[in-house]
Structure 1
Amino acid sequence: MNSIEIKVTELFNGLTVEELLKAWLIPKAERHLIRMEKRLSLNGIIPNSQSLVNSDNTIIINFKEKSKFLPEGNPDLCQVLYEDENLIIVNKPDNMKTHGNFEGEIALQNHVASYCKKAVYVVHRLDFETSGTVLFAKNQFVLPILSSLLEKRKIHREYEALVTGHFPQNQFTINKNIGKDRHDSKKRIVSKTGQTAITQVEVLKKFTQLSLVKCNLETGRTHQIRVHLSSLGHPILGDNLYGGQPNRRMMLHARRMIITLPFSFKKIEVISNSPSFDQALYRSKIVME
């Protein structure tokens, strides 16, 4: 049995234990097990579900975690942007998988696990060619909470992309459903029957034949930014799958993440840099102009 210790913040003063667990976005089934198996202590005492909590309280929750074996990675390849007892945000290089797809495959998840000296769990992923911020949970208890925060848009992800051509507006929203391509399992397409997909776009800079844009995700569909920009006739440079012009790397980078932390609901911001993106941006600008 593992445990997690949480200091109650002023935001939750006066809530009952049950209300607190719900406010923390702990899933209903898990709340039930915590209550039935008496896995929660309040200042060292097992409370009932209607006990009140205050900001000077310490809560300890015991939870079960299935052991997960991850082949050893290289901790030196884990570039930490933020870390606490529950989660870790790292900077993924381009041309690296977020997680392995078969037994024994080494990916970013393995490097992060080797750095943390324990298994870590993927909250969201970046494509192989994309660099930037990636969030991992440090235990299985916090994983569904982070997933819920992502679903409720409490985790804000901001990307930069270099695309061909210019847009008629400097700020606009792409609201086009995305579905699977029946003819190519690797691809996604704009489809009326697909899942809702919304991307906010802002033009940061215009070059002679290129535009550098900022993209904010309101949804998180596979290849969302790539499909949306390509559907407008402005594919990302280096995106061979969606019609982008050849380039040394695909020009998509997850630059910024703003996250509402579990339990405290404190907001933090992390920014990642990518030498390969910035160097390729400079080279592409010079060549294309």
Structure 2
Amino acid sequence: MSDLFKSIIVDQEHQKERLDKFLSNQFDDLSRTIIQNLIEEDDVLVNQKSVKSSYKLKVNDLIEIFEFSLPSKDILPSNIPLDIVYEDDDVLVVNKVSGMVVHPAPGHYSDTLVNALMYHIDSLSDGSQASRPGIIHRIDKDTSGLLMVAKNNYAHEILAKELQEKKTKREYIALVSGVIKNKKGLINAPVGRDPSNRLRMNVVASGKNAVTHFEVLEQFKDCTLIECRLETGRTHQIRVHMKYINHPLVNDELYGEKIDDFGQYLHAKTLGFTHPRTKVWMEFDSELPIEFKNYIEKLRD
């Protein structure tokens, strides 16, 4: 069974409604046919049991939707502007905006980076999953910054191997709550699914090895601007590690406190890798989003 994506408790308004109809209204970017297939494949359970699409909901039923991949044939290209920093026949580097999901996933099957790539790029690698063509590594929806994308399977295999061997350079700028007294730090703590909340990650003994280096760039009254360098690339790694040392990211709704309409103040600023064909080291930098810059200026006033 995959990880839990979302759970829903049925209220009185939706009792006696068909399960597939109810979920179609919950996820308007998924067709009724796709939802029926998910129910048939047990990616949707009611009260932890398999049911049919025609199941009539009851008050307080627990509906659990588990993570799944959408077949690539069902992913539709979208004419969404992209900030492409670099492109050749093998690879491209894109500067993702905060608020954009990287690849189709439950609840986000349109307007993702993959949808945009499929519109603008003629050829992408098969990816690690059908719903992730071209995608070698990810950053969270509300994190901005640089991503490398493979345009063919040759490039994908080499870049993915370099990433796995920790040779890829990935540096982030983050604004965290509280004042960090040490100028530099290293967090070595395993990250895995939070047993008490399957939508979150946490530092858990059974988690995967995760290492984050950080350095203080600037201190303010109630928060600190830091640079983070990743040795590993676990889901939500920086967000979880900073929460672990009691300095959650500013505006991180999942691990801290939401204060404005922007996402968490986290930006993938620097990306470096060896070109898969020429074997030349390539390194790219991107500016902070204007919202991030403006918030820092407010703190300086």
Would you call these one fold, judging by a TM-score over 0.5?
yes
Instruction: For residue 174 of structure 1, give the secondary structure of its aligned residue in structure 2.
Output: strand
Matched residue type, 2:235: T
Matched residue type, 1:206: Q
Deviation at 1:154, TM superposition (A): 2.1
Deviation at 1:204, TM superposition (A): 0.5
Aligned pairs for 1:1-289 (under 5 A) are: 68-69=72-73, 70-74=75-79, 77-101=81-105, 104-119=109-124, 120-249=133-262, 250-273=264-287, 274-283=289-298, 285=299
Deviation at 1:263, TM superposition (A): 2.9
Contact 2:100–2:111 (8 Å) recurs in 1: no
Deviation at 1:214, TM superposition (A): 0.3
Contact 1:235–1:242 (8 Å) recurs in 2: yes
Matched residue type, 2:100: M
Deviation at 1:104, TM superposition (A): 4.8
Structure 1 stretches of 4+ moved >2 Å: 67-70, 102-106, 117-120, 279-283
Please provide the CA RMSD for this pair: 1.9
CA distance in 2, matches of 1:200, 1:177: 14
Identity over aligned residues, as a percent?
Answer: 32
Contact 1:236–1:245 (8 Å) recurs in 2: no
Matched residue type, 2:285: I
Matched residue type, 1:106: D
Matched residue type, 1:263: R
Gaps of 5+ in 1: 1-66
Deviation at 1:248, TM superposition (A): 3.1
Contact 1:95–1:129 (8 Å) recurs in 2: yes
Contact 1:248–1:280 (8 Å) recurs in 2: no
Aligned residue number for residue 20 of structure 1: none
> Number of paired residues?
219
Deviation at 1:176, TM superposition (A): 0.6
Deviation at 1:281, TM superposition (A): 2.7
Gaps of 5+ in 2: 1-70, 125-132
